[in-house]
Amino acid sequence: MAGRTRGEQVSATREALLVAAERLFAERGVHAVSHRQISEAAGQGNNAAVGYHFGTKIELVRAIIRKHAERMEGIRTRMLAEIHASSDLRDWVTCSVRPVTGHLEALGTPSWYARFIAQLTADPVLHAIAAAEFFAAAPSLRQAQDGLNRCLPDLPAEVHGERAAMTRHLITQMCAERERALADGAPASRATWHDTGTGLIDAIVALWQAPVTCER
């Protein structure tokens, strides 16, 4: 780190810790990873580095989420400006999918973000923390959701909530599967992240437009 300022050294250390933590959390789960393991993976001799730079593990998780959410926010904001007040459901679904798949493509291979998010969604506490952090770091998410809502004014509230959850799970799990396949050098169902996004958009549009069966 010769020639770096103190601020640059701190920034580099934080980034190294974020990258190491994201990888370990994605591969092993958040609760199975210790501060010591993260520090060692980041090449830090001080085992207290995580606590010094981030405090608790939850704050570290939040920092990882913010790092990615802010990058996807830029993509989504540009897309929303282009579609404006569209009445086409596919436009709004696209604004939910493409920022994720586009960001994952930009990360290159291997990446761990999709698998990291999949780990969070499996834990009720971490899932709630992640949801709150996403909406705080990416306000355009609400704009995209409002646009989708306007396309489906007659969908019952309980069905809407159910399909919103299905949408989140589809995006999370399918992206995690592709990311894992790429990291392992295994065949992926689609040739590119763009193609993966197209498949997700097709399926999610069909999901939202599916008939609603009223059982008595």
What CATH number did the domain enclosing 1 receive?
1.10.10
Q: What pLDDT score was predicted for residue 3?
A: 61
Verify that 20 and 101 share a domain, yes or no: no
How far separated are the first and last CA of the chain, in Å rounded?
69
Cα 15-54-4 angle, rounded to 5 deg: 40
Query: Does the structure show a pLDDT above 80 at 215?
Result: no
Verify that 76 and 35 share a domain, yes or no: no
By percentage, how much of the chain surpasses pLDDT 70? 98
Verify that 132 and 200 share a domain, yes or no: yes
Verify that 75 and 11 share a domain, yes or no: no
- Can you give the three-state secondary structure of 163-214, one letter per residue? HHHHHHHHHHHHHHHHHHHHHHCCCCCCCCHHHHHHHHHHHHHHHHHCCCCC
Verify that 47 and 125 share a domain, yes or no: no
pTM of the entire predicted model: 0.92
Per residue in 107-136, pLDDT (tens digit) is 999 999 999 999 999 999 999 999 999 989
Residue spans of alpha helices (H) in 29-139 = 35-41, 49-54, 57-83, 89-107, 113-121, 124-137
Domain that holds residue 106: 62-209
Verify that 40 and 132 share a domain, yes or no: no
Residue where a domain stops, chosen among 32, 55, 78: 55
How many domains does the chain fold into? 2
Does a structural domain hold residue 71? yes
Cα 112 to Cα 68, 181, 193, 200, distances in angstroms = 11, 11, 14, 19
- Neighbouring residues of 77: CB distance < 8 A, sequence distance ≥ 6: 140
Per residue in 144-169, pLDDT (tens digit) is 999 999 999 999 999 999 999 999 99
Per residue in 168-180, pLDDT (tens digit) is 999 999 999 999 9
Query: Does the structure show a pLDDT above 60 at 2?
Result: no
Distance CA(115)–CA(174), nearest Å, equals 10
Distance CA(163)–CA(183), nearest Å, equals 30
Verify that 89 and 51 share a domain, yes or no: no
Verify that 172 and 193 share a domain, yes or no: yes
- Averaged confidence pLDDT in the chain: 93
Verify that 67 and 45 share a domain, yes or no: no
68-94 average pLDDT score: 95
Q: Which two tokens stand for residue 207?
A: 């999901």
Q: What pLDDT score was predicted for residue 1?
A: 46
Q: What pLDDT score was predicted for residue 84?
A: 86
Query: Looking only at Cα atoms, what is the longest distance across the chain?
Result: 73
- Neighbouring residues of 142: CB distance < 8 A, sequence distance ≥ 6: 135
Per residue in 20-59, pLDDT (tens digit) is 999 999 999 999 999 999 999 999 877 888 999 999 999 9
Verify that 189 and 121 share a domain, yes or no: yes
